[in-house]
Amino acid sequence: MTTFDRVKKLADKQKISIVELEEKLEFGRNSLYSWKKKIPNGASLAKVADYFGVSTDYLLGREVPRESNTEDDLTAFFRINTEGMTEEEIDNLKEELEDFMLIRAERLKRKKAKKDD
């Protein structure tokens, strides 16, 4: 898996396209696509890592992501008792929690951006 593949996977998880990510990070058009064949520079790599909350080592394939147990962490974080729920119900709940956390994170980013202006 290339660095680009890892970035694409993270972007897909947040339901944004590579083009949108490039715009948000103020990268040139197709700059992330070039990561399919070459290793990115440190500054760009760090910017992407910070955006997704992962390490540069993860993006380079040197470590397992911190979020590898995100689903379990979410149910623990919200202290949800899933006893008596079907696997499908648990999966749906986890998906809803992930969506909620992404929405809140975006809202906080916008709030911070307004405060910085």
pLDDT < 50 regions, the chain: 67-69, 71
For the entire predicted model, the pTM comes to 0.55
Summarised one tens digit per residue, pLDDT across range 52-66 is 888 888 888 887 655
- Predicted confidence at residue 73, as pLDDT, reads 62
> Quick one: CA dihedral 75, 78, 81, 86, positive or negative?
negative
Q: Report the distance separating Cα 78 and Cα 80, nearest Å.
A: 5
- Predicted confidence at residue 68, as pLDDT, reads 45
